[in-house]
Amino acid sequence: MEASSKEKALPQIVEVDLGNRSYPIYIGSGLLDQPELLQRHVHGKRVLVVTNSTVAPLYLDKVVDALTRGNPNVTVDSVILPDGEKYKNMETLMKVFDKAIESRLDRRCTFVALGGGVIGDMCGFAAASFLRGVNFIQIPTTVMAQVDSSVGGKTGINHPLGKNLIGAFYQPQCVLIDTDTLNTLPDRELASGLAEVIKYGLIRDAVFFEWQEKNMTALMARDPSAMAYAIKRSCENKAEVVSLDEKESGLRATLNLGHTFGHAIETGFGYGVWLHGEAVAAGTVMAVDMSYRLGWIDDQLVKRIHNILQQAKLPTAPPDTMTVEMFKSVMAVDKKVADGLLRLILLKGPLGNCVFTGDYDRKALDDTLRTFCKS
């Protein structure tokens, strides 16, 4: 087939409904070959692409081309950060500001995040803070970023004492998900993203969970249509929750199933040793264990969750080195603590139901921690 006659697949579009800050998520194959999609969301004549040393060699040229093709007025600068959660800190963030200022970008510029969740979070926070806020666009290239972190406007960096403690709620102009970028994604990263896909089923979408149980083999084999469906359904779930509760006064917190335990693993074990989704998977098992101890779910559901996580080759327990004390000290500074009380997301009732609550028997939490830790 010749390039000129190449058919352009129309993207699927999920709308994130946030009043005058609403924006579309475009999902599909070959979207980076459709420059008009990106260009309609670029404000001003200057663009800064923020990416990392892994993604830049694969997709930076393609993105620069998509931004500039037929659009000679636009100038693109780029900053390439080191890859990894351990660089999601103030020092690396400053490199983005340095580049933006050296390039003399002004308020009418657009930042583009090209990469996984770490890049999206850092670029988003940089965009929120540079000159007190400039436009930005998300081009997530991992499953994790495509189904979760690029959608909903949570941005930020880590502090040595905890994940995402410094940041902003800041919405992009659009999210562009070219599913072709998953072709270069390592298996472990793929599985990590699926932990969040599974989460949507567990907390609010039983039908989606059941679909996943039937299609996990296809997802693990990167079947394009299964993958596109899983991404779209995940984005729809996330967009709905975010539209109802942008600033996380309640409902939105349910997206953090397994994340409180998971963050403790990431912090205690060292950022980036386990991938985020791996920590979330182990954390989900712990939240599920606790929910079961409280008598809130039945053992059939516990088994199905173990099964699907194992199919996705995700961990179902924290690393051996984690202690009860490590969990407790990190959980004490969790963002979901209110006036000293730790609220957790726990499953309750049939598949697809959860609660966000501080009203649980402390003994169940202690028992869960002791069950999963050697000391």
Active site residue ranges: 132, 154, 196, 238, 248, 252, 256, 259, 263, 276
Q: Which of 128, 294, 301, 344 binds a second copy (CB under 8 A)?
A: 128
Give bridge partners of residue 168 from the DSSP assignment. Answer: 155
The CB-of-97 to a second copy minimum distance in angstroms stands at 6
- Per-residue mark of binding to a second copy, 10-49 (x: CB under 8 A): ----------------------------------xxx---
Task: In whole angstroms, give the CA distance from residue 197 to residue 203.
Answer: 11
Q: Looking only at residues 133 through 152 of this chain, which bind a second copy when binding is defined by CB under 8 A?
A: 133
Q: Looking only at residues 299 through 338 of this chain, which bind a second copy when binding is defined by CB under 8 A?
A: 332-333, 335, 337-338
From edge to edge, which strands make up the β-sheet containing 174-178? Answer: 12-16, 23-28, 174-178, 135-140, 110-115, 46-52, 75-81
- Alpha carbon 318 to its chain centroid, in Å, reads 20
163 lies in the site for a second copy, by CB under 8 A: no
- Per-residue mark of binding to a second copy, 241-260 (x: CB under 8 A): ------x-------------
Angle between helical axes of 224-244 and 187-204 (0-180°, round to 10): 50
106 lies in the site for a second copy, by CB under 8 A: yes
249 or 300, CB closer to a second copy? 249
The CB-of-343 to a second copy minimum distance in angstroms stands at 10
The CB-of-113 to a second copy minimum distance in angstroms stands at 17
Q: Which of 18, 58, 166, 228 binds a second copy (CB under 8 A)?
A: 166
Q: Which of 3, 132, 299, 362 binds a second copy (CB under 8 A)?
A: 132
- Per-residue mark of binding to a second copy, 66-95 (x: CB under 8 A): ------------------------x---x-
Residue from 173, 190, 67, 179 nearest 123 by CA: 173
Q: Looking only at residues 202 through 221 of this chain, which bind a second copy when binding is defined by CB under 8 A?
A: none
The CB-of-127 to a second copy minimum distance in angstroms stands at 11
340 lies in the site for a second copy, by CB under 8 A: yes
Task: In whole angstroms, give the CA distance from residue 342 to residue 360.
Answer: 10
User: With contacts defined by CB under 8 A, how many residues of the chain interact with a second copy?
Assistant: 40
Which residue bears the tokens 């335990």?
Answer: 261
Q: What are phi and psi of 47, to 5 degrees?
A: -125, 140
The CB-of-337 to a second copy minimum distance in angstroms stands at 4
The CB-of-358 to a second copy minimum distance in angstroms stands at 12
98 or 187, CB closer to a second copy? 98
Residue from 341, 345, 337 nearest 165 by CA: 337
Q: Which of 18, 95, 97, 273 binds a second copy (CB under 8 A)?
A: 97
The CB-of-45 to a second copy minimum distance in angstroms stands at 5
Neighbours of 178 (CB within 10 A): 25
The CB-of-357 to a second copy minimum distance in angstroms stands at 16
Stretch of residues binding a second copy (CB under 8 A), selected from 34-42, 125-133, 215-223, 294-302 = 125-133
Q: By three-state DSSP, how is residue 60 classified?
A: helix
167 lies in the site for a second copy, by CB under 8 A: yes
92 or 179, CB closer to a second copy? 92
**Who contacts 288 (Cβ-Cβ below 8 Å, separation ≥6)?**
297, 301, 302, 305, 347
**Dihedral angle of Cα 153, 348, 279, 362, to the nearest 10 degrees:** 110
204, HSE (Cβ side, Cα atoms, 13 Å): 22
Neighbours of 169 (CB within 10 A): 16
Residues 231, 177: contact at Cβ < 8 Å?
A: yes
Give bridge partners of residue 177 from the DSSP assignment. Answer: 27
58 or 324, CB closer to a second copy? 324
Angle between helical axes of 187-204 and 299-311 (0-180°, round to 10): 160
Task: In whole angstroms, give the CA distance from residue 7 to residue 281.
Answer: 39
**In the complex, which residues of this chain contact a second copy (CB under 8 A)?**
44-46, 90, 94, 97-98, 101-102, 104, 106-108, 125, 128-133, 154-156, 159, 161-162, 164-169, 247, 332-333, 335, 337-340
